[in-house]
Amino acid sequence: MSDPTNLPACPVCGLENTYPDGDNFVCPDCAHEWPRAAAVDDGEAAGDGIVRDANGNPLADGDAVILIKDLKVKGSSIVLKKGTKVKSIRLPRGAGDHEVDCKTDQGAFMLKACFLKKA
């Protein structure tokens, strides 16, 4: 059995409860499956400084994106709904735990790219 510390986080929900199943990785939390070969490719691409959405498409300043999952906002009762379109994103260059800054009708938010897809 492989070492659980080397397993990638789920590209859809971001949780680290993944496990190998044949030639795929499986996330028991959201039931997403992806091939092991894609995880190796993503690991190589992650170091290139390009921010990619949940489907692997590169994102740039000013792009429009769509949320792929309902997101609860920490410290608030606000929920950003799946399918919400966010226009004119900004990609901050500083170190942090998020890749995308954006503004919606509900306020300004900092999001991880794994919860977004390019519109």
Residue 89 CA, chain-centre distance (Å), reads: 15
- CA 118 – CA 83 distance, rounded (Å): 11
- CA 65 – CA 69 distance, rounded (Å): 12
Which residue in this structure is represented by tokens 């999001």? 111
- CA 86 – CA 13 distance, rounded (Å): 19
Would you state the pLDDT for residue 48? 64
List the chain domain ranges. 4-46, 65-118
Low-confidence ranges of the chain (pLDDT < 70): 1-5, 38-48, 95
CATH of domain 4-46: 2.20.25.10
Q: What is the torsion angle, in degrees rounded to the nearest 10, for the CA atoms of residue 53, residue 63, residue 79 and residue 30?
A: -20
- 52-72 pLDDT per residue, tens: 999 989 999 999 999 999 999
Would you state the pLDDT for residue 47? 54
Query: Could you say which of 1.10.1520.10, 3.40.640.10, 3.40.50.150, 2.30.30.40 is the CATH number of the domain covering 65-118?
Result: 2.30.30.40
**102, β-bridge pairs:** 109
Would you state the pLDDT for residue 44? 47
Give Cβ neighbours of residue 3 (< 8 Å, ≥ 6 apart).
none
Would you state the pLDDT for residue 96? 73
Give Cβ neighbours of residue 54 (< 8 Å, ≥ 6 apart).
11, 12, 68, 113, 114, 115, 116, 117
Instruction: Using a cut of 0.85, tell me whether the model's pTM lies above it.
Output: no
78 near 106, Cβ under 8 Å? yes
